[in-house]
């Protein structure tokens, strides 16, 4: 498997694409905004003017786009992947999207003689650049095994979680955990600052103990630096938390912390911060 189509060359897609090329895969790329793909083309990727052209000769297609509506359009429209990719192609959606949509794509892909996997990721822009993403996969085991060389080019913690949609449900659990953790980090910083403590010393003191976490050690320093560049956009995190709440409703369970943190992020988006990174949640506490 050498010929790979990649659709979506944003913050995450660029790093993933570079790691695929470093590992010897031949990459053809498409993005709605061509300028976002230009650096990859300059580094050796081929550009396609349409999705149909991008996937026409692909052995595998990787997508990482924005929202469920984008996933649906990219896969299920007449101009999309399933209508134009060759029979036998592996379709790997790495977008965080609705598990029910992943199940639909898997069913329609199978009907067209293709193999679909949902494979959302965690690790942010840093993980995408460094090839250390956690990759949570839903689909058939044989298809997962066939695509492992691709996953290993992009990530380190790679797991098959179950059938179609299972990767997405695992990612929802991931986002639920992040929501509570990053809010806790913000509250710790706010409390420490209000009591006159040196915030950098506080992070050094608590970051290696029981309170330590990826969010504490990676996002808290960026909060102190007022570095709100997106490794992951607030607007995309809002999308994810809404999907998690829909999944909780379907399962007839309550996740009140996630609901509360979603309200915080929606307030920030209304104030114009939707294109900032999730660490900008500290701004909510500074109001």
Active centre residues (catalytic): 171
- The alpha carbon of 250 is separated from its chain's Cα centroid by a whole number of angstroms, namely 22
> What's the farthest any 2 CA atoms get from each other in the chain?
64
Instruction: Classify strands 26-30 and 3-7 as parallel, antiparallel or unpaired.
Output: parallel
Closest CA to 175 of 225, 248, 104, 230: 248
3-state SS assignment for residue 96: coil
Residue with the two structure tokens 């659709």: 7
Q: How far is 207 from 218, CA to CA, in rounded Å?
A: 10
Phi and psi for 116 in degrees, rounded to 5?
Answer: -110, 140
SS3 of residue 27 by DSSP: strand
* DSSP code at position 86: P
- Displacement of CA 114 from its chain's centroid (Å): 23
Q: Is 184 exposed, middle or buried (0-12, 13-18, 19+ CB in 10 A)?
A: middle
257: which residues sit within 8 A by CB, 6+ positions away?
A: 176, 179, 180, 183
Distance CA 268, CA 238 (A): 10
């Amino acid at each position: 498997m050498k010929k790979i189509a990649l659709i979506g060359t944003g913050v995450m897609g660029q790093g993933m694409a570079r790691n695929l090329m470093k590992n010897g895969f031949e990459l053809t790329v498409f993005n709605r905004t061509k300028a976002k793909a230009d650096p990859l083309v300059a580094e050796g990727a081929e550009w396609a003017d349409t999705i149909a052209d991008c996937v026409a000769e692909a052995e595998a297609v990787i997508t990482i786009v924005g929202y469920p509506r984008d996933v649906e359009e990219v896969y299920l429209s007449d101009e999309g992947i399933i209508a134009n990719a060759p029979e036998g192609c592996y379709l790997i959606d790495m977008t965080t999207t609705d598990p029910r949509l992943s199940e639909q794509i898997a069913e329609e892909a199978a009907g067209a003689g293709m193999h679909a996997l949902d494979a959302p990721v965690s690790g942010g822009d840093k993980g995408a650049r460094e090839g250390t993403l956690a990759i949570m996969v839903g689909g058939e085991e044989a298809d997962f095994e066939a695509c492992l060389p691709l996953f290993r080019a992009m990530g380190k913690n790679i797991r098959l979680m179950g059938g179609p949609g299972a990767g997405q449900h695992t990612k929802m659990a991931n986002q639920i955990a992040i929501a509570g953790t990053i809010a806790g980090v913000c509250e710790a910083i706010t409390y420490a600052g209000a009591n006159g403590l040196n915030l950098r010393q506080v992070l050094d003191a608590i970051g290696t103990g029981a309170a330590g976490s990826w969010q504490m050690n990676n996002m808290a320093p960026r909060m102190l630096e007022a570095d709100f560049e997106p490794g992951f956009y607030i607007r995309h995190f809002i999308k994810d938390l809404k999907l998690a709440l829909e999944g909780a409703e379907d399962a007839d369970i309550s996740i009140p912390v996630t609901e509360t943190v979603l309200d915080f992020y929606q307030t920030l988006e209304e104030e114009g911060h939707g294109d900032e990174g999730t660490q900008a949640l500290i701004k909510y506490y500074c109001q």
